[in-house]
Amino acid sequence: MNSIKKKNNVNWIYLVIFLDFFAVSLVLPSMSMYLKNLGASYSMIGAMSSTYAFTQLISGPIIGSLSDRMGRKNILLISCLIIGCCYSAVGLLSSLFIILLLRATIGVFKHTQVLIRAIIVDQVAENQQPLIFGRLKSVIGISFSLGPIIGGHLTEIDGGFTYVALTAGILFGFNTVVVYLFFNETLSDIKKPNVPDEKPQRLIDGMITAIDDLKSINWLIFGDVFILKFMSSLASVAYYSNYNLRLQARFDVSPKVSGYTIAFQSMIGVLTGFLISKINDKFYTNDVNYKKRNTHSFMLMTLTYSLSYLSPNLMIFLISGMFFQIAHMILRVSLTNVVIQRSPVSKQGSVAGFDQSIISIARMITPLTVGIIEDMFGSSSGILLSIFTSIIGLFVSLTFTTSHIKAS
């Protein structure tokens, strides 16, 4: 009976994650075009994305601490409800300043994936967790493939973005109901009696610990891989910043067509993820330190970014995007394995945390940077940042050291 109950709980988790990322992928591809129609500059559009990433970055430890005190289910419930209200409001309002505030609010509470991971760790046996996390990645990939297509179709209706945003709000509202009715309380949801509220001190201690962990990281060992992580993330975010506006300006395509191109690239990424072990076995059997994989990936990314920037038609642009997804997925897996390979057991948590922070920082600074560049040099110039950073990554990967081994 307990196993059936746990299985049902996992199925509800899959549903919540699917609807969460499906709702986000409905809105994001059309957001830049909607803001542009409201009179926003590329810099303003970039500032909204950067603000979202900034508030998400700084609120992460706070939401995590609150979930420890108030329970994962309760915080997830509140988050889904607030995010749903904010997305609905974005579609109904035309004030850029208020939309900026709403985006910042969404960033504060958009930690669904982190909370779900914590719930899985609390409720699922350790030997079953890798299987569930792997399936979650597949669910996310499918949702990101379907969302842009449906969002693109809805956007072409008169006042379409309003329908898109309201649909996203309804989906988050539905998630709120699912969490309330079908999610079980975890051990962290059961409050211990007579325990004083230590949240402020815990936050301070957490920040001090994070700084100490940062100081303790051996930069001679991890410096090059963190640079590669940062350059890869920055290049990818720059490529997708204002993506729909770029396609519309260059190839005069509709939002529907833009949605299909995003879905196509997402599916290529998912397929590459499934085939990654076969790719490694075929081409990289002797690439023990991952240098060859990193070099090939950055080389291919540099070529595909350049081809995207110079492509004379949509077909060439799509082909370049397909090879970019292949290279980016191989690189993501490769760099993750390098971090694990070099991390001593006692430092894996701090190294993994800083590794994630690098990606968050790239997501925070890149949209605004791309917006400023595109205001100055035109709608396609943001890809130049992708080319530049991938070239840096290529040079770093060529000097990738072979001497690092995992510490005891």
Diameter over CA atoms, the chain: 68
Q: Give yes or no: residues 232 and 164 share one domain.
A: no
Domain boundary at 124, 154, 187, which? 187
Q: Has residue 159 been placed in a domain?
A: yes
Helix (H) or strand (E) holding 98: helix 96-109
Express each pLDDT in 38-79 by its tens digit.
999 999 999 999 999 999 888 888 888 888 888 888 999 999
Q: Has residue 104 been placed in a domain?
A: yes
Q: Give yes or no: residues 358 and 251 share one domain.
A: yes
Q: Give yes or no: residues 364 and 391 share one domain.
A: yes
Q: Has residue 196 been placed in a domain?
A: no
| Per-residue pLDDT at 128 | 82
Express each pLDDT in 168-202 by its tens digit.
999 999 999 999 998 876 554 444 444 444 545 55
Q: Has residue 270 been placed in a domain?
A: yes
- For the segment 127-134, the average pLDDT, to the nearest whole number, is 81
The owner of tokens 């699917």 is 18
Chain mean pLDDT for the chain: 84
Q: Has residue 407 been placed in a domain?
A: no
Q: Has residue 200 been placed in a domain?
A: no
Q: Give yes or no: residues 74 and 211 share one domain.
A: no
Which residue from 125, 119, 355, 342 is spatially nearest to 233, judged by alpha carbons?
355
Q: Give yes or no: residues 170 and 267 share one domain.
A: no
Q: Give yes or no: residues 96 and 228 share one domain.
A: no
Which residue from 342, 107, 324 is spatially nearest to 221, judged by alpha carbons?
342
**90 touches 165 (CB < 8 A):** yes
The answer to whether residue 352 scores a pLDDT higher than 80 is: no
The answer to whether residue 351 scores a pLDDT higher than 90 is: no
**279 touches 285 (CB < 8 A):** no
DSSP 184: P
Domain boundary at 137, 159, 187, which? 187
Q: What is the CATH number of the domain that holds 55?
A: 1.20.1250.20
Degrees (nearest 5) of the Cα angle 359, 263, 109?
45
The CA distance from 349 to 408, in Å, is 15
Question: 255-283 vs 2-37: helix axis angle to the nearest 10?
Answer: 130
Express each pLDDT in 79-106 by its tens digit.
999 999 999 999 999 999 999 999 999 9
Alpha helices in 284-347 (DSSP H): 291-310, 314-342
**19 touches 174 (CB < 8 A):** yes
Q: Give yes or no: residues 147 and 250 share one domain.
A: no
Express each pLDDT in 197-238 by its tens digit.
454 555 555 555 555 555 666 667 777 888 899 999 999 999
Q: Give yes or no: residues 160 and 60 share one domain.
A: yes
Q: Give yes or no: residues 352 and 240 share one domain.
A: yes
Domain boundary at 187, 214, 240, which? 187
| Per-residue pLDDT at 235 | 94
pTM, 2 dp: 0.83
Q: Give yes or no: residues 260 and 175 share one domain.
A: no
- Assign residue 252 a region: left if phi > 0, alpha if psi is -120 to 50, beta otherwise? left
Q: Domain residues for 107?
A: 1-187
Express each pLDDT in 358-381 by its tens digit.
888 899 999 999 999 999 998 889
The CA distance from 210 to 215, in Å, is 9
Q: Give yes or no: residues 126 and 31 share one domain.
A: yes
Q: Give yes or no: residues 38 and 181 share one domain.
A: yes
